[in-house]
Amino acid sequence: MSHVFNHQPAESAGNSLLQPPNHRAHRTGFLLLPNFSLIAFSSAIEPLRMANLITGESLYEHSLISHDGKAVASSAGVITEVDCGIRDAINIDTLFVVGASPVARTGNENIIAWLRQQKQNKAALGGIGTGSYLLACAGVLDGCRATIHWWDYENLRDEFPLIRVTNNLFEVDGQRYTCSGGTAAMDMMLFLIGQRHGMELAASISEQFVCERIRTAKDPQRVPLQHRIGARQPKLVEAVTLMESNIEEPLSTDDIAFHVGLSRRHLERLFKKHLQAVPSRFYFNIRMEKARRLLRESDKSILQVGLACGFTSASHFSTAYKNHYGQTPREERKALEAPDSLHITLE
């Protein structure tokens, strides 16, 4: 059963946390493609509404756009009314293409031509999830860093060699904004709001949505192992699962080989062939990734983080961490206290 969603004008609040000076609202358009991701769209538009609510100012105006001006159904069957079609959408400061799931590779000629026109109109252009694919088809991402959902990462990279495709949660390169979709859309929007109106406002919005932290553009997407190596290596997947389940007390390579029913040599061959690393190095990388997440997302002490990741002392952990990431755990945490140093222009 389908449901109809009618978007409403942003509210205002008398008791605002922040009071930016009056200025023209930033006009943001969302082009909704058929079968668009509802969670990605909501994650992108809600921070704009909350920015207006918290400040009591009309910082952002938004309009919903479809190809023909008719309502659009999301991948979940939720029908969303729009303001206009692409032929009637004008005066847009920033346009986000909310991609379909799966991506539609044909029948997009009119939209692609319109996106090129938006580039000529000097609009900032963004892709949410597979929306990045349409921006790529329009040629507006050539020479830029861009990302897309991990499912379409290789296709985007292979089909558009002029784009510097990354596996990050989102990318902001000049006037081009792309994200991997899902909840990463909120991280990207909070980042953009922070650049325009300050990180205090972005943090307040994040708190309203009960987000533990604002992830940065440097955070990579977590790609499922089965997608990376295929489904034909169940023993390898089993070995990595064992590693991920035994971080605090790491297993030896011999133990892992025994549990998955392979010889050590055979296991090492599988890791080198499919993961380009010996088991011990791959295991170490898993432990380091977890340590970095704990340092960024928890209030555990450095010693507690080290012990949770299989290190016997704080000094051993700090040395290993610096060798791996180029900075100590203490420096990692200190860097988080400062806003991201990336500067962008939002006109």
Interatomic CA distance for residues 183 and 166, integer angstroms: 17
Q: Which two tokens stand for residue 19?
A: 């009071």
Separation of alpha carbons 234 and 231, rounded Å: 7
Side-chain half-sphere CA neighbours of 314 within 13 A: 7
Structure tokens at 216: 């940065």
| Length reported for the chain | 347
Question: Radius of gyration over alpha carbons of the chain, in Å?
Answer: 23
| pLDDT recorded at residue 337 | 64
Using N-to-C axis directions, what is the helix angle for 314-325 and 279-297, rounded to 10°?
100
Element (H, E) at 173: strand 170-173
- pLDDT value, residue 167: 87
For 213-243, write each residue's pLDDT tens digit. 888 887 878 767 766 676 678 899 899 989 9
Each residue's pLDDT expressed in tens, for the chain with a length of 347 residues: 444 444 444 443 333 334 444 578 999 999 999 999 999 999 999 999 999 999 999 999 999 999 999 999 999 999 999 999 999 999 999 999 999 877 777 889 999 999 999 999 999 999 999 999 999 999 999 999 999 998 888 889 889 999 999 989 999 999 999 999 999 999 999 999 999 999 999 999 999 998 878 888 878 787 677 666 766 788 998 999 899 899 999 999 999 999 999 999 999 999 999 889 999 999 999 999 899 988 987 889 999 999 999 999 999 999 999 999 999 999 988 876 654 433 333 33
pLDDT tens per residue, range 166-209: 989 999 999 999 999 999 999 999 999 999 999 999 999 999 99
- The torsion angle over the Cα atoms of residues 286, 287, 288 and 290, rounded to 10 degrees, is 90
Q: Residue 128 has which token pair?
A: 């949410």
Facing residues of 97 across strands? 31, 127
Beta-carbon contacts of residue 301 (< 8 Å; ≥ 6 apart): none
Confidence at residue 163, expressed as pLDDT on a 0 to 100 scale = 97
Residues 37, 75 contacting (CB under 8 angstroms): yes
246 Rama sector, left if φ>0, alpha if ψ -120 to 50, beta otherwise:
beta
Entry pTM: 0.68
Which runs of E-coded beta strand occur in the chain? 3-5, 26-32, 60-66, 72-73, 78-80, 84-85, 94-98, 124-128, 145-146, 164-165, 170-173, 176-179
Is residue 78 a contact partner of residue 95, using CB atoms and an 8 Å limit? no
